[in-house]
């Protein structure tokens, strides 16, 4: 295994850490609505390709609030792993869940970048996992906090990626028709200008009927 090898649905797992209201309140490195859009899009990408996905939350009822309902709705049968530790890698249930996936490539997004992403990323790297940090589905308390933490993780061996990059790395070939329609629906809903371009191509170039908003 190598971080030079492309991600695919059978060699990776997704970990979503602490996408909760109180954590989002402190985010200053990215627009919060964009952050939510990207994170939900990332979770939906994992679901389309049946990638093992783990949710974890910290101090839900005493401080942080519940994980965003739009995010939980992607995997409604998934029970988040509740913790008290800032470092999710210190929680046995989380580490056991990661080991149970059998995957060595871990795609991680978290709030905040400088704490709840950096700590487990460094720990997982030290234990021999390959770590891919989703920078646009994570946020820090300032742009500097986010950027410096990303640099620290890169220096330790983590690979920075974006949510849409993960989606398209999974799809890889538009001839993969078993996932094509779901990927296009996700792009139309969550990919901003790219989605607008797809909509234009469908209706104006290929003369498909105008889509009705959901």
Give me the active site residues, please.
116
Furthest C-alpha separation in the chain: 54
Residues composing the chain: 214
DSSP 16-74: EE---HHHHHT--SS-HHHHHHHHHHHHHHHHHTT--EEEEEESIIIII-PPPHHHHTT
Number of Cβ within 10 Å of residue 208's Cβ equals 11
- In whole angstroms, what is the distance from residue 18 CA to residue 94 CA? 13
CB atoms within 10 A of CB 78: 15
């Amino acid at each position: 295994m190598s971080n030079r090898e492309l991600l695919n649905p059978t060699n990776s797992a997704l970990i979503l850490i602490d996408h909760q209201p109180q954590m989002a309140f402190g985010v200053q490195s990215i627009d919060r609505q964009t952050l939510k859009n990207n994170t939900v899009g990332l979770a939906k990408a994992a679901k389309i390709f049946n990638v093992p996905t783990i949710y974890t939350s910290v101090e839900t009822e005493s401080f942080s609030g519940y994980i965003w309902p739009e995010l939980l709705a992607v995997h409604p049968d998934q029970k988040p792993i509740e913790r008290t530790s800032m470092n999710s890698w210190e929680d046995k249930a989380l580490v056991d869940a990661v080991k149970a996936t059998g995957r060595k490539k871990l795609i991680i997004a978290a709030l905040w970048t400088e704490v709840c992403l950096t700590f487990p990323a460094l720990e997982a790297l030290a234990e021999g996992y390959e770590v891919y940090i989703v920078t646009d589905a994570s946020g820090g308390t300032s742009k500097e906090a986010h950027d410096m933490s990303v640099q620290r993780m890169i220096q330790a061996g983590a690979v920075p990626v974006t949510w849409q990059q993960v989606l398209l790395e999974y799809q890889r070939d538009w001839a993969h028709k078993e996932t094509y329609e779901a990927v296009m629906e996700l792009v139309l809903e969550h990919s901003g200008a790219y989605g607008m371009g797809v909509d234009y191509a469908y209706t104006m170039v290929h003369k498909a009927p105008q889509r009705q908003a959901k």
